[in-house]
């Protein structure tokens, strides 16, 4: 046993003495030692009940002949950390959690681990930690919260954020806002929509690291306790057979996770977490690897914020096993992947089917023909950006409008609440990326307030930061490179002030992305002025549009005032190379020909 290095032999008498101080007996020390990572705390609603889950896990481990030893990890509630300085710490906590798992499992050589997360960064943090250590491990989550009720309708935390916008516009009273606030989150569990926490919990099933229904059994149901007991038993089988996370998380498993993510319309934050998980499994995955999966995988579910269904509805309709079974039936899932049951997905999914086709659609009758997420590229985001297309109104999949540029979330909120955003605008928030934030804050408040004001079908939002899984509307995040790294999205602000001493440094950073363009500097009164026109073409979101056969794009195409970037003679013939998806020169030439030549007086911005 791996744990023998800390408990067996003459020289380990002091070690055993310390275990005895914790109350362990000779019999308990002779058994496999199973570490339980418990992220319970009294702050996160999704974690307030995890001690109960852990108690059930311990019973399962004991019943199967193991010795459970519990340890703790930190956890940040993104909802509570939202829209203030605290959000700068959330994404970074993922690595701290991964570090704590690795430290505990290496400092005290467990034979196996049971990971008990539930919300936000805790789930990917624990998965990363398990892959680093690579000892037999299984995930059992705390489960989703039941939806709240208001005026006979299901509501979630997202409805409270949107109600703030409604109250700001005085379309609801402060009393109704308070009523919604009190009703939306009725008890323990991860917030009831398909936000980041529930998306990641569902994907633990697709990866093969958790039992079926781990992502959807409501937190307070007895089935969750039984799932925890069974997970405790199964870790002993994983230890016996030495089935480790890296044997389970293969490239096919990652593709399964992406496919399920596309089918359910998961959080855009999975585009951060899945590549990180893959990295520690030794599998290079980039943002641009998402689109091929999105193109072939239809969007099957409309769980909040994309629709009116909550996580409890997804569970009642058959849960993730029903989704995976439908994908497998249509050859959109790898059924031969190993799972923590010791069997393959194909075996585990036998007899599973959709129980409510209004919640989980058939592949032949999807919500959308392609997946719930898509990667866009273009002259604003040469290295890509992400949109949750399943939660975008069809009328906003193509949009062009004047940009309102803000250099922080706080500045954007001041502008939004101050009535400065009008129908047709594109809100651009820069310096909110990993470096510029720092911390890449999750910005649910601006998107929700815009939606609450009734502007989600008229206003787009673009940022080098990120959004919550609860975000809906034409909200495009993760723009890369970020402004603070010299990304083109930041060019208008610097270029608008010709005496800015930092512009020369910025110009050197952004030079690789200019590709032969010449800059003509102009003055504007303030960097948050209407700097440029933004065009979004996300109708096909990752693929070729069925009607017009045009490629997905996100680009700056015009300028109202300020910095102007005019094409040089050499660059003009390659102008359309900035547009997303134009990797092939023949495609670029076709689009350039269809758009016509652009003279030197045509104003183009990055």
Pairing of strands 374-376, 426-429: unpaired
Residue 367 lies in a domain: no
Q: Per residue in 153-173, pLDDT tens? A: 999 999 999 899 899 889 999
| Terminal CA-CA length for the chain | 59
What is the spatial distance between Cα 123 and Cα 261, in angstroms, rounded to a whole number?
15
Strand partners, 463: 429
Round to whole Å and give the CA distance between 488 and 399: 20
**CATH number for the domain harbouring residue 282:** 3.40.50.2300
354 in any annotated domain: no
What CA–CA distance (Å, rounded) separates 514 from 314?
46
Q: What CATH number is associated with residue 407?
A: 3.50.30.80
pLDDT surpassing 80 at residue 325: yes
- Shared domain for 401 and 341, answered yes or no, is no
Q: Residues 225-241: pLDDT tens digits?
A: 999 999 999 999 999 99
Tell me the mean pLDDT in the region 478-498.
70
CA 192/CA 145 separation, integer angstroms: 5
pLDDT at 483: 87
Q: Which position has the higher pLDDT, 381 or 17? A: 17
Q: Which of 314, 348, 382 is the last residue of a domain?
A: 348
What's the 3-state SS for 260-280? HHHHHCCCCCHHHHHHHHHHH
Q: How far apart are CA 311 and CA 198, in angstroms?
A: 8
Q: What's the pLDDT tens digit per position in 51-93?
A: 999 999 999 999 999 999 999 999 999 999 998 999 999 999 9
358 occurs within a structural domain: no
Mark whether 266 and 214 lie in a shared domain.
yes
Domain count, the chain: 2
Same domain, 338 and 384: no
Among candidates 511, 385, 524, which has minimal Cα distance to 460? Answer: 385
Locate 456 and state its tokens: 């989600």
Domain termination site, one of 298, 333, 348: 348
Q: Is 160 contained in some domain?
A: no
Element (H, E) at 38: strand 33-38
Torsion of CA 71, 74, 75, 81, to 10 degrees: 160
Q: Which residues pair with 67 in a beta bridge?
A: 33
Per-residue pLDDT band at 555 (split at 50, 70, 90): low
The answer to whether residues 262 and 214 belong to one domain is yes
Q: Hunting for tokens 């069974």 — which residue is that?
A: 230
Ranges 333-347, 364-378, 483-497, 551-565: which has the least confidence: 551-565
Residue 197: which of 261, 257, 269, 280 has the closest Cα? 269
Structure tokens given for 471:
């975000």
pLDDT at 383: 86
Say if residue 315 is in the same domain as residue 420.
Answer: no
76 belongs to a structural domain: yes
Same domain, 384 and 315: no
Written as six digits, the tokens of 374 are 């898509």
Q: Is 604 helix (H, G, I), strand (E, B) or coil?
A: strand
Residues 544 and 531: beta-carbon distance below 8 Å: no
In a domain, residue 64? The reply is yes
Of 281, 296, 246, 51, residue with least CA distance to 137: 246
Q: In what order do the strands lie in the sheet with 460-463?
A: 374-376, 384-387, 475-480, 460-463, 426-429, 398-406, 533-537, 553-558
Task: Decide which of 428 and 245 is more confident.
Answer: 245
| Domain with 468 in it | 374-595
Q: What is the pLDDT of residues 441-487, one digit of tens each?
A: 888 888 888 888 888 899 989 999 998 777 788 889 999 999 888 88
CA distance 439 to 429: 14
Which of 302, 330, 348 is the endpoint of a domain? 348
Residues 272 and 315 placed together within one structural domain of the fold: yes
What would the pLDDT profile of 392-406 be if each residue is shown by its tens digit?
888 888 888 888 888
Query: By the 8 A CB rule, do 209 and 139 touch?
Result: yes
Q: Name the pTM for this structure.
A: 0.83
Are 334 and 382 contained in the same domain? Answer: no
Q: Based on the fold, state whether residues 224 and 308 are members of the same structural domain.
A: yes
Catalytic residues: 468
Structure tokens at 457: 């079908």
Q: Specify whether the CB–CB gap between 197 and 190 falls below 8 A.
A: yes
**pLDDT, averaged across the chain:** 83
Interatomic CA distance for residues 191 and 155, integer angstroms: 10
The total number of residues written for the chain in this structure? 606
Residue 270 pLDDT greater than 60, yes or no: yes
Residue 49 lies in a domain: yes
Same structural domain, 472 and 559: yes
Contact 531, 496 (CB under 8 A): yes
- The DSSP code for 568 is P
**Which of these, 564, 565, 568, 573, lies nearest to 592 by C-alpha position?**
573
498 and 558 housed in the same domain: yes
In a domain, residue 164? The reply is no
Backbone angles phi and psi of 94, in degrees to 5: -55, -45
Q: For residues 60 and 229, what is the distance between their CA atoms, to the nearest angstrom?
A: 4
Q: 519 forms bridges with which residues in the sheet? A: 565
- Cβ count near 151 (within 10 Å): 9
Tokens representing 135 are: 């000892």
The answer to whether residue 346 scores a pLDDT higher than 60 is yes
H or E element in which residue 241 lies:
helix 222-241
Q: Would you state the pLDDT for residue 512?
A: 54
Six-digit token string for 16: 């055993």
CA dist., res. 229 & res. 53, Å (int): 8
Q: How far apart are CA 199 and CA 186, in angstroms?
A: 20
Rg of the chain (C-alpha set): 25
DSSP code string of 97-155: HHHHHHHHHHHTT-SEEEEE--STTHHHHHHHHHHHH-SSEEE----BPPPEEETTEEE
* Pair 315, 456 in one domain: no
Q: What is the pLDDT of residue 509?
A: 55
């Amino acid at each position: 046993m791996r744990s023998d290095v800390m408990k067996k032999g003459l020289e380990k008498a002091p070690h055993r003495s310390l275990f005895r101080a914790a109350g362990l007996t000779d019999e308990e020390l002779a058994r496999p030692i199973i570490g339980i990572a418990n992220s319970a705390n009294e702050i996160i609603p999704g974690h307030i009940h995890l001690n109960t889950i852990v108690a059930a896990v311990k019973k399962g481990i004991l019943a199967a002949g193991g010795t459970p030893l519990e340890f703790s990890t930190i956890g940040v509630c993104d909802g509570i950390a939202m829209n203030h300085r605290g959000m700068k710490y959330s994404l970074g906590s993922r690595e701290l959690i991964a570090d704590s798992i690795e430290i505990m499992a290496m400092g005290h050589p467990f034979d196996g681990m049971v990971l008990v997360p539930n919300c936000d960064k805790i789930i990917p943090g624990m998965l990363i930690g398990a892959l680093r250590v690579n000892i037999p491990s299984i995930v059992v989550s705390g489960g989703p919260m039941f939806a709240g009720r208001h005026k006979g309708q299901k509501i979630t935390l997202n409805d409270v954020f949107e109600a703030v916008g409604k109250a700001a516009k005085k379309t609801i009273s402060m009393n109704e806002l308070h009523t919604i606030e009190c009703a939306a989150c009725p008890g323990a569990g991860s917030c009831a929509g398909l936000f980041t926490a529930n998306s990641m919990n569902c994907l633990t099933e697709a990866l093969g690291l958790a039992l079926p229904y781990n992502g959807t059994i409501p937190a307070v149901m007895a089935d969750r306790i039984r799932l925890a007991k069974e997970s405790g038993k199964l870790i002993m089988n994983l230890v016996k057979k030495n089935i480790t996370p890296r044997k389970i998380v293969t490239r096919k498993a990652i593709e399964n996770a992406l496919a399920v993510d596309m089918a359910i319309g998961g959080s855009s934050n999975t585009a951060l977490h899945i590549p990180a998980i893959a990295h520690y499994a030794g599998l290079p995955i980039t943002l641009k690897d998402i689109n091929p999966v999105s193109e072939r995988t239809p969007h099957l579910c409309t769980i909040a914020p994309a629709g009116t269904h909550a996580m409890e509805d997804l569970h009642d309709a058959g849960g993730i096993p029903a989704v995976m079974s439908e994908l497998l039936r249509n050859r959109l899932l790898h059924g031969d992947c190993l799972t923590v049951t010791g069997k393959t997905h194909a075996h585990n999914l036998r007899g599973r089917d959709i129980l409510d086709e209004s919640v989980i659609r058939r592949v032949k009758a999807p919500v959308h023909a392609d997946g719930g997420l898509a990667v866009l590229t273009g002259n604003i985001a040469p290295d890509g950006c992400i949109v949750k297309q399943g939660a975008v109104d069809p009328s906003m999949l193509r949009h062009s409008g004047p940009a309102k540029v803000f250099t922080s979330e706080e500045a954007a909120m001041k502008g939004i609440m101050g009535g400065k955003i009008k129908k047709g605008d594109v809100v651009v928030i820069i310096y909110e990326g990993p470096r510029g934030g720092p911390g890449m804050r999750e910005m649910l408040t601006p998107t929700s307030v815009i939606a609450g004001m009734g502007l989600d079908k008229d206003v787009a939002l673009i940022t080098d930061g990120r959004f919550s899984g609860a975000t809906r509307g034409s909200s495009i995040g993760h723009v890369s490179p970020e402004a603070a790294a010299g990304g083109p999205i930041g060019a208008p602000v610097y270029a608008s002030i010709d005496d800015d001493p930092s512009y020369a440094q910025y110009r050197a950073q952004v030079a690789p992305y200019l590709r032969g363009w010449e800059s003509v500097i102009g003055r504007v009164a303030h960097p948050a002025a209407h700097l440029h026109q933004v065009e979004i073409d996300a109708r096909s979101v990752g693929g070729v549009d069925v009607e017009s056969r045009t490629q997905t794009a996100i680009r700056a195409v015009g300028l109202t005032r300020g910095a102007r970037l005019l094409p040089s003679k050499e660059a003009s013939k390659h102008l359309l190379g900035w547009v997303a998806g134009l990797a092939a020169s023949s495609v670029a030439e076709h689009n350039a020909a269809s758009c016509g030549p652009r003279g030197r007086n045509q104003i183009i911005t990055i």
